[in-house]
């Protein structure tokens, strides 16, 4: 086991007759031994290209990838000591599920009894015991995905790479397996990097999450920091469901003036002692909007009951806010309700760069 380091890693795709595509731009990450890291972002953000460069299936255009003291850039995938579960499964059709799962151990000349024990252990973990003697073409996509995942986890390699590891599983099974897989990885101290577009999966599995967009690493932080101390407007609006409310604002003297979509003054909040005059973005998480008390008045435009939470759409002088409350809240559409945006729940962002200025009363720097 060893620390994984990415230093100024770039990936540039060249196609004849087309301009180059800079898919990954100067990514720096230091991943500790035994740490679980999620690469999170929308389609085309660069997360899968990053994973494939670590695995050796894509060349590194610039920069270095090191696992411990070893430089991986010029090593073939088989020489890197890396186990990978592919999004496309990449199973061997002529082999049974059992032999697919144990293939790497067989090649390493692991004793037969040890292979049988570890195959049985991982099959029980991922609930594929009943299909061990079937062949990949005869099982479902979800079963194929679990087989691919089992084949990667059974190796306990220096580094485990998982590409969208549970995308084909039904929600209930996915929730169960997430907890089991995390416990397994922690128990065996497996350094793991996984790719996902699913925030819930990233937040549940990862010790830290690398949020990517446009090939750029936007923020590399714990789930709590991504929610409470987003580095910029992109992370603030990308992380969270529902996403953070973002309002147009301007610091004018002791006030933060919030403006409607038309640019009119809607209402004002209290500025902090170190807030500089000028235009800003003002954010607040929906669950921090307090409904039923406070100096502001808003009209309810939607009320959705989701079984354990109420999601309210509230318009305050032309500014639309989403509020989340635990339990049911009786508020009819068209009704006026009081609300409060607490000072310690506000996030301020530079209106030009999008970089965070402060979170609550603390500077973002």
Q: Please list, in sequence order, all residues whose beta carbon lies within 8 angstroms of the beta carbon of residue 284, skipping any fewer than 6 positions away.
A: 244, 245, 321, 341, 345, 346, 347
Which pLDDT value is given to residue 162?
Answer: 93
Domain count, the chain: 2
The C-alpha atoms of residue 285 and residue 346 are separated, in whole angstroms, by: 8
The C-alpha atoms of residue 215 and residue 43 are separated, in whole angstroms, by: 11
Q: What is the dihedral of CA 174, 242, 348, 261, to 10 degrees?
A: 150
Mean pLDDT in order along the chain per 10 residues (365 residues):
90 90 96 96 93 95 95 92 82 94 90 94 95 94 92 90 88 90 93 93 95 97 96 95 95 95 92 93 96 94 90 95 90 93 96 95 73
Q: Which of the listed residues 229, 263, 293 is the one where a domain comes to its end?
A: 229
Which pLDDT value is given to residue 165?
Answer: 86
Same domain, 83 and 177: yes
Q: Are 291 and 337 in contact (CB under 8 A)?
A: yes
Same domain, 244 and 216: no
Same domain, 63 and 127: yes
Q: What is the pTM of this model?
A: 0.91
Identify the sign of the CA torsion 223, 225, 231, 232. positive
> Which strands sit side by side in the sheet containing 265-270, from one edge to the other?
265-270, 255-259, 245-252, 278-284, 347-350, 356-359, 362-363
For 312, the domain range is 238-363
3-class SS letters over the chain: CCCEEEEEEEEEEEECCEEEEEEEEEEEEEECCCCEEEEECCCCCCHHHHHHHHHCCCCCCEEEEEECCEECCCCCHHHCCEEEECCCCCCCCCCCHHHHHHHHHHHCCCCHHHHHHHHHHHHHHCCCHHHCCCCHHHCCHHHHHHHHHHHHHCCCCCEEEEECCCCCCCHHHHHHHHHHHHHHHHHCCCCEEEEECCHHHHHHHCCEEEEEECCEEEEEECHHHHHHCCCEHHHHHHCCCCCCEEEEEEEECCEEEEECCCCCEEEEEECCCCCCCEEEEEEECHHHCEEEEEEEEEEEEEEEECCCEEEEEEEECCEEEEEEEECCCCCCCCCEEEEECCHHHCEEEECCCCEEEEECCEECC
Bridge partners, residue 30, by sequence: 5
Same domain, 24 and 169: yes
Same domain, 63 and 136: yes
Which pLDDT value is given to residue 186?
Answer: 93
Same domain, 326 and 210: no
Same domain, 84 and 219: yes
Q: Which of the listed residues 178, 207, 229 is the one where a domain comes to its end?
A: 229
Same domain, 163 and 143: yes
User: From residue 166, how far is each of 91, 146, 148, 175 by CA, in Å?
Assistant: 16, 8, 10, 10
- Residue 85, judged by CB atoms within 10 A of its CB (0-12, 13-18, 19+), counts as buried
CATH code where residue 167 lies:
3.40.50.300
Same domain, 211 and 243: no
Same domain, 105 and 217: yes
Which pLDDT value is given to residue 15?
Answer: 85
Joined tokens for residue 347: 């996030």
Q: Which of the listed residues 206, 229, 252 is the one where a domain comes to its end?
A: 229
CATH code where residue 282 lies:
2.40.50.140
Same domain, 198 and 296: no
Same domain, 156 and 276: no
């Amino acid at each position: 086991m060893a620390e994984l380091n990415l230093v100024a890693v770039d990936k540039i795709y060249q196609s004849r007759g087309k301009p180059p595509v800079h898919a990954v731009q100067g990514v720096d990450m230091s991943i500790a031994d035994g740490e679980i890291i999620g690469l999170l972002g929308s389609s085309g953000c660069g997360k899968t290209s990053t994973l494939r460069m670590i695995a050796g299936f894509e060349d590194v255009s610039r920069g270095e990838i090191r696992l411990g003291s070893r430089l991986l850039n010029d090593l073939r995938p088989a020489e890197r000591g890396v186990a990978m579960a592919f999004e496309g499964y990449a199973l061997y059709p002529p082999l049974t599920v059992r032999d697919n799962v144990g293939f790497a151990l067989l090649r390493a000349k692991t004793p037969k009894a040890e292979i049988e024990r570890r195959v049985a252990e991982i099959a029980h973990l991922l609930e594929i015991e009943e299909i061990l003697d079937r062949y990949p073409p005869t099982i479902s996509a979800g079963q194929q995905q679990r087989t691919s995942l089992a084949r990667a986890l059974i190796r306990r390699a220096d580094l485990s790479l998982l590409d969208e590891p549970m995308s084909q599983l039904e929600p209930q099974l996915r929730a169960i397996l997430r907890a089991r897989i995390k416990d397994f990885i922690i128990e065996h101290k497996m350094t793991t990097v996984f790719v996902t577009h699913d925030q819930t999966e990233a937040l549940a599995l990862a010790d830290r999450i690398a949020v990517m967009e446009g090939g750029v690493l936007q923020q590399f932080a714990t789930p709590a920091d991504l929610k409470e101390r987003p580095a910029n407007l992109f992370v603030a609006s990308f992380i969270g469901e529902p996403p953070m409310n973002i309002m147009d604002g301007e610091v004018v003297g002791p006030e933060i003036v919030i403006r409607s979509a038309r640019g009119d003054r809607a209402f004002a909040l209290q500025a902090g002692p170190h807030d500089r005059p000028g235009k800003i973005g003002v954010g607040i998480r929906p669950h921090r909007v307090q409904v039923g008390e406070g100096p502001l008045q808003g009209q309810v435009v939607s009320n959705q009951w989701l079984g354990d939470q109420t999601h309210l759409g509230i318009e305050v002088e032309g500014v639309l806010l989403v509020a989340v409350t635990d339990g049911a809240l009786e508020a009819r559409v068209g009704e006026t309700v009081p609300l409060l945006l607490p000072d310690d729940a506000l996030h301020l962002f530079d209106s030009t760069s999008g970089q965070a200025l402060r979170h609550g009363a603390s500077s973002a720097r």
